[in-house]
Amino acid sequence: MSHKFPYKWYLKDGYPAKGIEYHGSKVFGTFICGGGSSMGYKLAGFDHLGGVEIDPKVAEVYMLNHKPKHLYVEDIRLFNQRKDLPEELYHLDLLDGSPPCSSFSMAGNRDKDWGKEKQFREGQAHQRLDDLVFEYVKTIKKLQPKVALLENVKGLIQGNAKAYAKKINKEFTKAGYRVQLFLLNAASMGVPQKRERVFFIGLRNDIDLPKLVLDFDESLITFKQATNDIENLFDENVTDSALKYWKTTLPGKSFSSSSFFNWIRLNENDAFPTIASACEKLHHPSVCRPLNLEEIKRGGTYPCDFVFAEIKGKYLIGMSVPPVMTAQIVHQIWLQWLSKIEKQTK
């Protein structure tokens, strides 16, 4: 069922990916970050119009690499209050959203942070993060796209956060959508990374089509396969204590010291583990060093020629949905839903 989207690719080669037709379905994004999802849509033949991003520095990087038609550098709450949006945003084929997920991650404070304002990173405004999923649903209600997609961490359907997941389902229903919930692993989709993510995918009630089927079965791509053409370069210095624990850590395991919490020595015969914003903790399997940027690009399926400007590349990739993961999902949405709608309306 999957399409072979390449995990090694270049922006200079243009869109869509080889073997994919450009159909030009209109998509707009929220919480667009560096554009991981945006690139996935374009690889899959969509016309990505731009999006909403609160961080000015990240938005600059987005503008540099994507040159969007519409870009709103502001809080999603302010965007939802706008009365000056272009008409084409009210006729979208698909609306995409990946609200910040730290509030639902199984790591960190989790439940203790719910309802509190936080500053997600330097330069951003203080804001509540746990209610951003519902702000995004307000965007869906406002724009009424044919299809709405919400991506978040697996933790959203675990423990106390299940109540949030149920409420998201309910809000999608109130907005006029039949929603399906998927837990998907990027490693089964041609991404050399074990990254599990939850996707709420809603189809507007006035569109009569069968349920979406997502069943990806691509072979595992190992770290060795994905990076064998990358020069073994050091980005950062390694301390003697880190070297000591790296040597005694089996490939694929975490360092056995609380001083190196979540530091991992990768296994060259397995896929990358989840690449998060703190991916400097991921260490090479055969040399004691953090993974370099080129390796992180490959694991995150970011283009080799992406320009990060003033933003740390590893951080941005860790914050992004892998482009190939998005491409696989939305290619199926096009094949199973949007292409059928297009035929019905002709």
Name the residues annotated as catalytic. Answer: 101
Is the separation of the CB atoms in 230 and 271 below 8 Å?
no
Cβ-in-10-Å burial (0-12, 13-18, 19+) of 85 comes to middle
Amino acid at 308: F
Is the separation of the CB atoms in 200 and 212 below 8 Å?
no
Helix (H, G, I), strand (E, B) or coil at 71: strand
Angle between helices 132-143 and 162-175 (to 10 degrees): 10
Alpha-helix residue ranges (DSSP H) falling in the chain:
36-43, 56-66, 76-81, 132-143, 162-175, 223-227, 240-247, 293-299, 313-319, 323-333, 339-345
Sign of the C-alpha dihedral computed for residues 257, 258, 263 and 266 taken in this order: positive
Cβ-in-10-Å burial (0-12, 13-18, 19+) of 21 comes to exposed
50: left (phi over 0), alpha (psi -120 to 50) or beta: left
Structure tokens at 322: 């892998």
94-97 and 26-30 as β-strands: parallel, antiparallel, unpaired? parallel
Please, what's the b/e burial string for 307-340 (b: 16 or more CB within 10 A of its CB; e: otherwise)?
A: ebeebebbbbbbbbbbbbbbbbbbbbbbeebbee
Is the separation of the CB atoms in 59 and 34 below 8 Å?
no
